[in-house]
Structure 1
Amino acid sequence: MTATTLALIGVFVANRIARPMRRLAGAAEALGRGQSIEALPETGPDDIRRTTEAFNRMQARLTRFVEDRTRMLAAISHDLRTPLTSLRLRAEFVTDADAQQRMMATIDEIQTMTEAALAFAREESVTEATRAVNLTALIESLCDDLADLGQKVRFLDSPKINYRCRPDGLRRAARNLIENALRYGGEARVQLDEKPSMVQIVIEDSGPGIAEEDFERVFEPFFRLESSRNRETGGVGLGLSIARATVRHHGGDITLSRMPRGLRATIALPRSHRGL
């Protein structure tokens, strides 16, 4: 009788400790993937309650930091429009045609970068809900859409993979990598793969590739390779930064690697986040 009572008390105490710990672990994982979560109930034994309180404070601070950064970026981008308009008007009075053309080109480049930063800020301020989707169908439909537009995109045979994610954001990230492959490699081959610990979206091209020392630099905001300085072909250098940020919000990453001919971009997503 005594042993049974002690066992029941032990089970009760264990559940009282384990339940908030499981809840805290799940919330920490969701927060690491960029999901919006509500404050956790601050219950349980003293140590766990204090840990939960600290977690809630940390989450609130992180949320405020991201919101403040997004608002600041949007405000700076918006406020830059006025001086740019003033510069454009002044440039029109420059009598030297060559100097005027160079000034206008520089102003246009700053304007394009400003608009891109503002669009990024707006996108960052929108929080997309996480849901389970057929990831294979999502990426295949993206490839079909680009192929319908006349782009040389091939979706290779892939297993059906259900995955819990923010589908619009992940689709935009994949589209950016595919369009990069098309722009610099002339074609894109896309395939999904499953590994023991992750799901991969692999995009390959047949272009000249890039130097290994630039694999990380191309993800820096506004960084462009010398071969892509033209805004018509190289953009403003925000696309890959946004794509990597989106994938990292899902707990994954984007990596680049060289092939005998071409470049391979891999979106790696943790398999533990798959949907059922």
Structure 2
Amino acid sequence: MSKLKSLLERFRPRSLLTRMLLLTLLAVVMAQGISTTFWYATFRAQEDEGLLNSSSNLAYSAAATVRFFKSLPLEYRHIVLDQLRNMGGTRFFVSLNEQEIPLKALPDTDRKVRVVSVVSNVLRQRLGGDLPIRVEFVAPENLRILNSRMKLTDLPPSWAGYALNLDPINPPVLVTQIEIAPSEWLYLATPLPAPYVSLEDPVLPRQQIFFIVMVSIFLLSFIALLVRWQTRPLRRLAKAAREMPFDDDRPPLAEQGSSEVVAVTRAFNTLRERIQRYLKDREQLFTSISHDLKTPITRLRLRSELLDDDLLRDKFEKDLQELDLLVKSALQSVKEHDVYENMEAVDVHGLIDQVTEPAAKEPGKVTLVGRALRPYRCKPLALRRCIGNLFDNALKYGERVTIRIEDSPEILTLHFEDEGPGLAPEQLSKIFDPYYRASPTAPGDGLGLGIARGIAHAHGGEVEASNRAERGLRLTLFLPRNPH
């Protein structure tokens, strides 16, 4: 069941265009299916009614022909048959045979059974029920018409040219044999009249199928164009939201498309302006704080130098250094997160080489495994800082660092594996907290991994920590190729 769900989830349409096309196709299929069902039922009823009426008329004509021949003296019947073959005069091919000619009948179908029943009933009503009557349908190539039981195809065309003209549609032939006197069977043969030239159940005409296909193609094409036209501003909006440029020179996103899309674009432009204003205000605030705090710290440091008590002066100096470090750390945290860059396609290996170049001078210090399939679209300086912080952390706690690259069309993954002591399970989630250090004796201020995770989040990615099975810690950076 889980495999089926994952398979369905994999092939589930995600884009608006695909969903609209599938829903439209489903609606067209359902609408055309319902209308075609009603149309086909009406068409079939009309076809059946026309075929039965034509068959009934054939039966009345056959009954008239039989009564005519029964009324003729015996010596004139063959003369009339010769005249009919040479000059026409009836819709039937007529012959007199000494016995019933056995025929290879067509397979029974619903239409054939009903036509044979109608013809038989009319003949019995018109001729009386005491005459032996045989009614059957025969394929033209199996039709036998004389006492010799020769096939129609073996006889000269003039023999049946007036009554059995089968070209080019070659319809089934209705054969009626009636014993009008002892050892005298009247044989009547005629093809089914156009347009009722088939005993099979009617199928949809090719014109109807062509019409359904063309309507579906035109409808889906127009909807595809409409959806792409309407979603083009949404795609621009999604790209702008991913890249989110904060430089003042970039103009607001053009407000185009439907009224709903225009409203969303206007809201995005307003949001971007507010974020820009907020970031500028915050940067100005921290710059002011930095400037304002440096002066009293410097003043306090100078005054502490005037103290005569060495122990007290050392305590003041230590407190001032700690205060100065806290101010610098807070400013560094803000500046590392607020990287105002535009998105660019960068070479991942180039960034890694820049970060690892100093350590890579020592043999075996850095190992790179795998390659990126193509450049990654990101904020270059921010991503370099993210990779640098993860590498520096791995290098700090392990003697050697292995960087493994796993790339796919959906996600780029970088693993930073060290050979250090690793971490306790409860520490794995805390190392990303600001100012948290796994080892109090290790250098640093505990901000690097938090900054790296913040940059990863800004790119739609994530940073995770886990212990290696062998030894050491693994920091994994996930970067989606197409963040939404």
Q: TM-score, with normalisation over the residues of structure 2?
A: 0.49
Where do 1:164-183 residues align within 5 Å? 164-183=377-396
Q: Which residue of 2 aligns with 1:253?
A: 462
CA spacing shift, 1:73–1:151, aligned 2, 3 Å: farther
Structure having the larger proportion of residues in helix? 1
- Aligned partners of 2:369, 2:343: CA distance in 1, in Å? 26
The residue identity in structure 1 corresponding to 2:330 is A
User: Contact 1:205–1:262 at 8 Å: present in 2 too?
Assistant: yes
Q: Shift in Å at residue 89 of structure 1?
A: 2.2
Residue 158 (1) aligns with residue 370 (2): yes
Q: Which residue of 2 aligns with 1:26?
A: 239
Q: Which residue of 2 aligns with 1:237?
A: 446
Q: Which residue of 2 aligns with 1:76?
A: 289
CA spacing shift, 1:7–1:190, aligned 2, 3 Å: closer
1:33-72 superposed Cα distances (whole Å, 9 cap, x missing partner): x776642211222222112111211222222222222222
The residue identity in structure 2 corresponding to 1:237 is G
CA spacing shift, 1:250–1:112, aligned 2, 3 Å: same
- Name the Cα RMSD after superposition: 3.1
Moved more, 84-93 or 211-220: 211-220
Q: Which residue of 2 aligns with 1:267?
A: 477
- Aligned partners of 2:355, 2:404: CA distance in 1, in Å? 12
- Aligned partners of 2:220, 2:392: CA distance in 1, in Å? 61
The residue identity in structure 2 corresponding to 1:270 is P
- Aligned partners of 2:465, 2:474: CA distance in 1, in Å? 6
Query: Alignment partner for residue 214 of structure 1, among 418, 427, 430?
Result: 427
Residue 223 (1) aligns with residue 436 (2): yes
CA spacing shift, 1:258–1:222, aligned 2, 3 Å: same
- In our comparison, the structure showing a higher alpha carbon Rg is 2
Q: Which SS does the other structure have where 1:264 is aligned?
A: strand
Aligned length: 266
Q: Which SS does the other structure have where 2:369 is aligned?
A: coil
The residue identity in structure 2 corresponding to 1:118 is L
1:185-217 superposed Cα distances (whole Å, 9 cap, x missing partner): 233222211256321111111222233333343
CA spacing shift, 1:123–1:257, aligned 2, 3 Å: closer
Unaligned runs of 5+ in 1: none
CA spacing shift, 1:151–1:179, aligned 2, 3 Å: farther
1:143-191 superposed Cα distances (whole Å, 9 cap, x missing partner): 233222x596312221233211222221222122212222222332222
Q: Which SS does the other structure have where 1:90 is aligned?
A: helix
CA spacing shift, 1:243–1:45, aligned 2, 3 Å: same
Q: Which SS does the other structure have where 1:219 is aligned?
A: coil
Q: TM-score, with normalisation over the residues of structure 1?
A: 0.81
Moved more, 50-59 or 91-100: 91-100
- Aligned partners of 2:279, 2:427: CA distance in 1, in Å? 28
Q: Which SS does the other structure have where 1:272 is aligned?
A: coil
User: Contact 1:154–1:190 at 8 Å: present in 2 too?
Assistant: yes
Unaligned runs of 5+ in 2: 1-214
Which structure is richer in relative contact order (CA contacts within 8 A, separation 6 or more)?
1
Where do 1:49-198 residues align within 5 Å? 49-122=262-335, 127-148=340-361, 150=362, 153-161=365-373, 162-195=375-408, 197-198=410-411
Q: Shift in Å at residue 73 of structure 1?
A: 2.1
User: Contact 1:84–1:107 at 8 Å: present in 2 too?
Assistant: yes
CA spacing shift, 1:67–1:241, aligned 2, 3 Å: farther
